[in-house]
Structure 1
Amino acid sequence: MEGLKEENLKETRPKAKINEDRIWLSPPHMGGEEKALITEAIDSNWVAPGGPFLRKFEKVLSNFVQCQSSLALSSGTAALHLALRLLGIRQGDEVICSSFTFTASANPILYQGATPVFIDSELETWNMCPNALEQAVQSRIVNGKKPKAIILVHLYGMPAKLGEIIDISKKYKIPLIEDAAEALGSNYKGKALGTFGQMGIYSFNGNKIITTSGGGALVSENPDLIKKALFFATQAKDGAPHYEHSQLGYNYRMSNVCAAIGVAQMKVLSERIRRRREIYAYYEKHLSVIKGIEFLPEPKGFYSNRWLSCILIHPEYIKGVNREQLRLRLLRHNIESRLLWKPLHLQPLYRNFPYFGNKFSERLFERGLCLPSGSALTKDQLDFIIGIIKESF
């Protein structure tokens, strides 16, 4: 308790030196074959945004999520931007987006000159609230601004309430894009997240459940959309013997070297999911006994990859301890943790855009903490983290 009473505790005063011994929140975890495949890519001179590993990675990814077409790209943000471009989103349009998420979910809306309309979360999954979504759609239609797309985020790997949200999407004929950046390997009633909407996106950033060092992917059951996305992702070069360009394109393609890492990582993805879920279960078993600590359970039919294990701390039950004090206490012991996402409707960049909800995501931000969840965590490390948390209470 002593450390938690220091209200002015600064991050510049860690107890341990932050070095390679630090317990990170979600570091990359190599599977063993990455180095050999990278060497193979270099030896073959396929180091550009094209090559056999790129094609193989896309095929393996499509097979894993059971989706017809996929396109490997430089980032999940690039994938989301291409999805909006393919739907014809342009200046003056409105696009609905989850508010409780990372800024990359909404930034591509601004890339296209469109206006984001933010939707609050609901209690059971922390994802987009269907009631607030329909309220927003009806309100924008009354104002003569029917939204052109819905960007639905599956936060921390937990599926959103897809049944209700898909019904709203179909009812009002608004295309659905799934931001499954954090949710590769999660599913809703047995079907992979990212494959329910017109398009879905994944991220392979270094902190995700698998990584390509940096990268992302766009998936769709419509191969024509993926073919068009490839055109835009490779600078929109027209079919001519010279460089001819009639449309704006981007340099968004993944490199063959990064794809080689991805091929190796896909081989261990199922094991990574199993281990992340195991870590979540271990935290829940040992910390749920503390009154005032709450976990996010899976509703029936929902399957989360448990990318990050998150807790809510209720100060009304635990006097003198809040999520920021606990974060600083962990930091003093060289343990990285992180606050839950600050809702986008509270961010300086986005606070003047439309928002619909009851501020539930704000309460999540005020009380939530992400615990170290990397799949390479050992039992000793988990016990150390849990011990620090128990001591704090």
Structure 2
Amino acid sequence: MSSPDVGELEEHAVLAAMRSGWIAPLGPDVDAFETEIADRVGVSHGIALSSGTAALHLALLTLGATRGDVVVTSTMTFAATTNAIMYTGAEPHFVDCLPHTGNMDPELLRRALVRLQEQGRRVAAVVPVDLLGKAVDYTQILSIAQEFNVPVLSDAAESLGAKHRGKPVGSFGAASVFSFNGNKIMTTSGGGMLMTDDEEFANHVRYLATQARQPVIHYEHLDVGYNYRMSNLLAALGRAQLERLDEMIAKRRKLRDEYKNLFASMPGIRVFGSEHDDEDNVWLTAISINESVTGFGPKDLALALARNNIESRPIWKPMHLQPVFSQYEGEISGVAEQLFKTHLTLPSGSALSQRQREFVYDKISEFIGAQK
């Protein structure tokens, strides 16, 4: 689906880090990686962490999320977003999405904040999620959150390299979070980063991420801390990946364009979110299948691809439908559930060779041709 795209540059970077002797967590590559990502995004501070989930967790703690609070978030996302909310003791309140992007619906966000205000609930944060590399409408979401005096934490785990109205993702809200998991647009194997312009916020995250150690010669702790820092070796890998980020985005965009061409003559199928996608990082490409037109659904195509050892999957199952989170409330319109039923994510990685891509296109065309 989206395997790591690594080569000699990454190999040399990790080997150089090993030979430097900085094997233990932290080191010069961590410092440089934080600076380079912050410069890329245009913020003052980056904190390299063990995962995007860890970054979400520490950001929510720094925003003061705790038991009894509510965090308003997207229902169309991976479970990590909601898991991080649960770690703090706060409750999620889910907001459904827009049909053409899968991103948080601003009007439903407003409705959620009105309802929670009327209930007297404290909303610790709004956490919108950039779906499949497309930025949410930060202009509207930040404006609405500001009306209710609620901070915004951007879950940009999937969207490094994307923009909203010319401004890079990672630079919106009180803080933003990236993921460098193995399937992301660039990887550090496992890892993530928190971005912010707020020095006090950044310092508190660093403090919590290093076991909340006090600056004394012995080990002294006034708070519960976490072992959430990134290792120097993984940061070296990330620095090499960052050098190639634009190249990898360009490869994924070429793949997206090839999918558009493939499906242009196939009634009932369209590339999801492909309208106005010039600012996306095109992390993953999904398609919408109108079964009443095609005569087949996403599951049928997925089974045909699987028989040829081609991976595909539905887009995220909405969080309000997950058994572990089903008891929590939200502003649900039914759009996310419909997208889950009708959309399929296709192989999208920049590591795919031309031969592999053509094999995927051929098998898709064979299947669709056989349905006529």
What SS is found at the alignment partner of 2:94? strand
Following TM superposition, by how much is the alpha carbon of 1:27 offset from its aligned partner in structure 2, in angstroms?
0.2
Task: Tell me what 1:126 maps to.
Answer: 102
Task: Tell me what 2:163 maps to.
Answer: 187
- Equivalent pairs counted in the alignment come to 368
What SS is found at the alignment partner of 2:293? coil
1:348 aligned onto 2:347 = no
8 A contact 2:259–2:271 mirrored in 1? no
What is the RMSD computed on CA atoms of the aligned residues? 1.2
Q: 1:298 to 1:389 in 2, by over 3 A?
A: closer
8 A contact 2:155–2:176 mirrored in 1? yes
Following TM superposition, by how much is the alpha carbon of 1:302 offset from its aligned partner in structure 2, in angstroms?
6.1
Task: Tell me what 1:269 maps to.
Answer: 245
| d(CA) in 1 for partners of 2:358, 2:277 | 31
Task: Tell me what 2:344 maps to.
Answer: 369
| d(CA) in 2 for partners of 1:299, 1:166 | 23
8 A contact 1:188–1:301 mirrored in 2? no
1:380 corresponds to which of 324, 330, 355: 355
- Paired letter, 1:361: A
8 A contact 2:99–2:339 mirrored in 1? no
Following TM superposition, by how much is the alpha carbon of 1:327 offset from its aligned partner in structure 2, in angstroms?
0.8
- Structure 1 gap ranges (5+): 1-24
1:330 corresponds to which of 305, 313, 325: 305
Task: Tell me what 1:81 maps to.
Answer: 57
1:283 corresponds to which of 241, 259, 262: 259
Task: Tell me what 1:198 maps to.
Answer: 174
| d(CA) in 2 for partners of 1:300, 1:308 | 15
Task: Tell me what 1:169 maps to.
Answer: 145
What SS is found at the alignment partner of 2:178? strand
Tell which deviates more after alignment, 203-212 or 44-53. 44-53
**Matched-pair identity in %:** 40
8 A contact 2:248–2:350 mirrored in 1? yes
- Paired letter, 1:344: M
Tell which deviates more after alignment, 183-192 or 378-387. 378-387
Q: Deviations 1:237-267 (Å, cap 9, x if unpaired)?
A: 0122211101010000000000010111111
- Structure 2 gap ranges (5+): none
1:238 corresponds to which of 214, 220, 236: 214
Q: Deviations 1:206-235 (Å, cap 9, x if unpaired)?
A: 000110011000000112211111000000
8 A contact 2:46–2:196 mirrored in 1? yes
8 A contact 1:98–1:151 mirrored in 2? yes
| d(CA) in 1 for partners of 2:221, 2:97 | 42
Q: 1:45 to 1:65 in 2, by over 3 A?
A: same
- The structure in which a higher percent of residues are helix is 2
Tell which deviates more after alignment, 64-73 or 249-258. 64-73
Q: Given the two structures, how large is their TM-score scaled by the length of structure 2? A: 0.97
8 A contact 1:189–1:301 mirrored in 2? no
2:14 corresponds to which of 7, 13, 38: 38
1:256 aligned onto 2:229 = no
| d(CA) in 1 for partners of 2:207, 2:326 | 35
1:229 corresponds to which of 205, 223, 229: 205
What SS is found at the alignment partner of 2:365? helix
Following TM superposition, by how much is the alpha carbon of 1:192 offset from its aligned partner in structure 2, in angstroms?
0.8
Task: Tell me what 1:27 maps to.
Answer: 3
- Paired letter, 1:92: G
Q: 1:298 to 1:324 in 2, by over 3 A?
A: closer
What SS is found at the alignment partner of 1:217? strand
Task: Tell me what 1:305 maps to.
Answer: 281
- Paired letter, 2:257: A
Following TM superposition, by how much is the alpha carbon of 1:316 offset from its aligned partner in structure 2, in angstroms?
0.8
Q: Which runs of at least 4 in structure 1 moved beyond 6 Å after TM superposition?
A: none
What SS is found at the alignment partner of 1:174? coil
Following TM superposition, by how much is the alpha carbon of 1:299 offset from its aligned partner in structure 2, in angstroms?
5.4
Tell which deviates more after alignment, 325-334 or 382-391. 382-391
Q: Deviations 1:120-141 (Å, cap 9, x if unpaired)?
A: 0012321000111110110111
1:359 corresponds to which of 331, 334, 340: 334
